[in-house]
Structure 1
Amino acid sequence: MGGPAVDGLRERVRGAVITPDDEGYEQARRVYNGTVDRRPAAVVRVANAGDVMAAVDFARETGLELAVRGGAHSAPGYGTCDGGLVIDFSDRHGVRIDPVGRTARCEGGVTWGDLNDAGYVFGLGVTGGIVSTTGIAGLTLNGGFGHLARGLGLSCDNLVSADVVTADGRFRTVSEEQEPDLLWALRGGGGNFGVVTSFEYRLSPVKDVVAGPFVYELEHAAEVLRFYREYVREAPEELGIFPGFHVAPPLPFLPEDRVGDSFILLVPCWSGPPDRAEAVLAPLRDAAPVVAEGVDTVPYPAFAAAFDPLLPPGLRQYWKGTFATELTDAAIAAHTEHGPRVPTVHSAVHIYPINGACHRVPADATAFAHREATFATVILAAWTDPADDAADTAWVRGYYDALAPHSDEGGYIGFMDHDDQHRIEANYRGNYARLTELKRRYDPGNLFRLNQNIRP
């Protein structure tokens, strides 16, 4: 695409239209995953909702493939494409907090770091991701869990309204009162139903947290996982906690001679009354001998960004995910076999809890259907050298294959990679039929297909 076609697109939008001949194109076409190397015909850095409407119309009219980029963290690189059009929200980071109504209105390019920082001033927050550079858009549309999920529910459970441009180029504001079916689909249905230009969230009191990792030797991994399995069932919902396998980076509380060793961690985040933190966290010290402990009282935005240095942009990445209602002894055996082989300091396995408030939402109340699941596991390999592609990808696949027999059918959309399209129906379970009906209503031509795709 070039010449008059590009000129015509530029005349229809206020934001920049970046093509292969323009300065800055190489940066504009990049996404977070370094294995993704695609060359779109044009990247539209949208300035407003009108630009989104114009770009959607242009893609539909010309038949160009359309990608939508918020935070650009999509594991399969769905925020870009070859030869098509990219709607890019990287200039749209506005957040407006209503401290009286306890809501936040966020533009489509906002990251969790943006929202966490804006809310902290007012002592307010909402469930967001473990890495703060992740965009709110992709995480929320996929469901969204993190440190606050046990107490506040999923990110999508806290989405109260959204502005959406659908495949016909129409701008729609959706809420429980206006087009509630579309809001239902956005709460976990991924990017299948339109381009969300702004999100409105319900906020809750969140300020400083008592949080940080407990580090244990790998020989105690089974003990730690069995402890976690039981403790998270009854722990106060203000406690977010997950175990993880990691290669240790340099950390001030870790002995220098242990940097580069692999460990199993427990990572708590207590957002309840500070005077209860010690009693809540004390059992973690008895789960197994503790090598090191990095717990402190910190602002929530600071802790929510603690894992950011481990996942900088440009790393080569490959992901898999599972849900499980129970963390069985057989699953723990699979974890203790494969978790210690975590290949790089940037790689990780986390087992997030999604009980508490997440379980109080019926399975058919949102597109996110796995309300009986208690654990969501992510297996992430991230590395720098292309020569390691095969080995690190094989580690993820082998780990996933070992867990699959001990997991629920389906997995979390946000942890799916490019080769997981066959899992779509299982991922949505009993909600899949309704989602396909809504896809036919709002996107019958499947314009929004660069995602974990629900076909109309």
Structure 2
Amino acid sequence: MHDRLALPIDVLRSALSCRVVTPSDSDYNRMRTVMMGGIDRRPSAIVCPLTVEDIAHTIAFARQHGAELAVRSGGHSSAGHSVTDGGIVIDLRELKALDVDVAGRTAWAQAGLTAGEVTEALAEHGLAVGFGDTGTVGIGGITLGGGVGFLVRKFGLTIDSLLAAEIVTADGRVIEADATNHPDLFWALRGGGGNFGVVTRFKFQLRELPSFYGGMLILPATPEVVAGFMAEAEAAPEEFSAIANVMPAPPMPFLPAELHGKMIVMGLVAYAGDVAKGKEVVDRFRALAEPLADMVKPMSYGGMFGPEDPDYRPTAVSRIMYLDGFGKQQAQTALDALAASDAPLRVVQLRVLGGAVARVSPDATAYVHRTQKIMAAVASFYVGPDDKPRREAWVKDLSAALGPVPGAYVNFLGDEGEERVRAAYPGATWDRLAKVKAQYDPDNVFRLNQNIPPAT
């Protein structure tokens, strides 16, 4: 850790056109707080740039003084990469410009925008970009890592809608990368995370989405219902995407008290198309068992994000994996483990992939797991540091029992070590990313991420 008193922040401040927050400021604690609980890091300064020049100056200052750099878009990194202890945070929250070309079906979006903000603005024109499942996520992190959400089978990953990106590199250059300009960098940015610089703007291909049918469908969880849910999700047309959360029912106000703690499938289902056809598809899930709650209806795509508590700071451990399938035996394994745990919240989350994701060649972007059928996550909340090892062991054991296939998804990785980062970028993909890293960040200035060291 660097001694924050050793950094001449006044020198940095004098070179910038923007606000610089330090420990003496009244909102310092609010500004350094990230989404995940249990992360308590104290940067020497938080820079909120207004221009690419502000970013370039900050990078140069950090390099000159040996200060660690963190880059924050929305602050949702589960590993806490959005904040540094003693170093400098480049916090992009002031970069909120959105330039929509309705006729051309494209938009330039600055990296301080959230998925919810972009989605709401585009909905006015009947247009969309597929992001994730949470509106407060910054578009920077989710886009650079891949982007798996409620439109994934219809329109692919977020990176599959990316046409160009503006990036400030470690040497202060401002580059616009696309398929013809810096194509190697553009390939790496689509899935390679924040390893290559500070991305300030994204150009997206917009998709027409005039109608949408979705919401929450809660079913009682038995092995047959869970396996049936996954089979229906795999068989559904590509307009349909879903997230199945297999878990004990939390004390949600719309569920009767006697159901709290009972095993449920909390399905978040989305049909990106005609409402009548969407209802036909969702009716197959309703037929699996008598729904405990059914909030699926015609709505906007942005309505899937739902309200969020800005003070929500979960402390959780998780493991992300891919699965070839999820039948009754795996469902029974999951339900037994969930029932045996006494964690305050625990879940097996399942997402069927395929569709538009699988039609992109695995070597076309840095996200290579195109042919995987199911993305799964096992997660457990913990209470205090003494409780954490027990929950980590439970997550590890259940993950292994579900029979994962090799691979990982970088956006859902925690602080899990190089082996897990390599699992996200196997074989030749890792080697190619390391070469791009060596070209654009040879000194590994941008290392507070799921790091890919430069090739030597």
TM > 0.5? yes
Which of 434, 441, 449 is the equivalent residue of 1:436? Answer: 434
Q: AA paired with 2:416? A: D
Cα distance in 2 for residues equivalent to 1:49 and 1:326: 45
Q: 1:51-66, aligned counterparts within 5 Å?
A: 51-66=54-69
**2:112 matches 1:109:** yes
Shift of 1:86: 0.7
CA contact (8 A) 2:213 2:279 kept: no
Paired position in structure 2 for 1:402: 401
TM value normalised by structure 1: 0.92
Paired position in structure 1 for 2:133: 130
Unaligned runs of 5+ in 1: none
| 1:89-139 residue CA offsets vs partner (Å, 9 max, x unmatched) | 122223222211112211111111111111111111111111111111111
Shift of 1:385: 5.4
Which of 11, 16, 19 is the equivalent residue of 1:16? Answer: 19
Unaligned runs of 5+ in 2: none
Q: What is the CA RMSD across the aligned residues, in angstroms?
A: 2.2
Cα distance in 2 for residues equivalent to 1:132 and 1:382: 21
| 1:173-210 residue CA offsets vs partner (Å, 9 max, x unmatched) | 11112111111101000111111011111111124422
Paired position in structure 1 for 2:183: 180
Cα distance in 1 for residues equivalent to 2:379 and 2:175: 36
CA contact (8 A) 1:245 1:340 kept: no
**2:32 matches 1:33:** no
Paired position in structure 1 for 2:281: 280
Shift of 1:342: 7.0
Q: AA paired with 2:415? A: H
Give the count of matched residue pairs: 450
Cα distance in 1 for residues equivalent to 2:200 and 2:25: 26
Cα distance in 2 for residues equivalent to 1:133 and 1:164: 22
Q: AA paired with 2:448? A: L
Shift of 1:282: 1.5
Shift of 1:231: 2.2
Cα distance in 1 for residues equivalent to 2:211 and 2:247: 25
| 1:373-410 residue CA offsets vs partner (Å, 9 max, x unmatched) | 1111122334665664344444333322323xx11212
Paired position in structure 2 for 1:350: 349
Q: 1:207-356, aligned counterparts within 5 Å?
A: 207-218=210-221, 220=222, 222-249=223-250, 251=252, 253-305=254-306, 308-309=308-309, 313-327=312-326, 331-340=330-339, 347-356=346-355
Cα distance in 1 for residues equivalent to 2:370 and 2:7: 50
Cα distance in 2 for residues equivalent to 1:327 and 1:320: 17
Cα distance in 2 for residues equivalent to 1:228 and 1:85: 46
Cα distance in 2 for residues equivalent to 1:207 and 1:75: 34
Q: Per the alignment, do residues 100 and 341 of structure 1 end up closer, same or farther by CA in structure 2, a change over 3 Å counting?
A: farther
Q: Per the alignment, do residues 194 and 4 of structure 1 end up closer, same or farther by CA in structure 2, a change over 3 Å counting?
A: closer
Q: Per the alignment, do residues 304 and 344 of structure 1 end up closer, same or farther by CA in structure 2, a change over 3 Å counting?
A: farther
CA contact (8 A) 2:226 2:328 kept: no
CA contact (8 A) 2:338 2:346 kept: no
Q: Which moved more, 1:101-110 or 1:20-29?
A: 20-29
Equivalent residue of 2:244, what SS? strand
Q: AA paired with 2:76? A: H
Cα distance in 2 for residues equivalent to 1:160 and 1:112: 17
Q: Which moved more, 1:297-306 or 1:323-332?
A: 323-332
Equivalent residue of 2:163, what SS? strand
CA contact (8 A) 2:69 2:446 kept: yes
CA contact (8 A) 1:192 1:451 kept: yes
Paired position in structure 1 for 2:48: 45
Equivalent residue of 1:212, what SS? strand
Which of 436, 447, 450 is the equivalent residue of 1:449? Answer: 447
TM value normalised by structure 2: 0.92
Which of 75, 80, 88 is the equivalent residue of 1:77? Answer: 80
**2:421 matches 1:424:** yes
| 1:352-380 residue CA offsets vs partner (Å, 9 max, x unmatched) | 12210000000000000101111111223
Q: AA paired with 1:422? A: E
CA contact (8 A) 1:151 1:238 kept: yes
Q: Per the alignment, do residues 361 and 436 of structure 1 end up closer, same or farther by CA in structure 2, a change over 3 Å counting?
A: same
Q: Per the alignment, do residues 252 and 343 of structure 1 end up closer, same or farther by CA in structure 2, a change over 3 Å counting?
A: same
Cα distance in 1 for residues equivalent to 2:101 and 2:13: 35
Shift of 1:79: 0.6
| 1:212-270 residue CA offsets vs partner (Å, 9 max, x unmatched) | 2222223x1x2123223332333111111232123434556533442454412332111
CA contact (8 A) 1:343 1:381 kept: no
Q: Per the alignment, do residues 262 and 210 of structure 1 end up closer, same or farther by CA in structure 2, a change over 3 Å counting?
A: same
Shift of 1:336: 2.7
CA contact (8 A) 1:262 1:342 kept: no
Q: Per the alignment, do residues 114 and 414 of structure 1 end up closer, same or farther by CA in structure 2, a change over 3 Å counting?
A: same
Cα distance in 2 for residues equivalent to 1:450 and 1:362: 29
Cα distance in 1 for residues equivalent to 2:99 and 2:398: 42
Cα distance in 2 for residues equivalent to 1:339 and 1:123: 41
| 1:422-448 residue CA offsets vs partner (Å, 9 max, x unmatched) | 222221124111111111111111111
Cα distance in 1 for residues equivalent to 2:339 and 2:150: 24
CA contact (8 A) 1:65 1:85 kept: yes
CA contact (8 A) 2:241 2:269 kept: yes
Equivalent residue of 1:116, what SS? helix
Cα distance in 2 for residues equivalent to 1:133 and 1:247: 25
Cα distance in 1 for residues equivalent to 2:203 and 2:53: 19
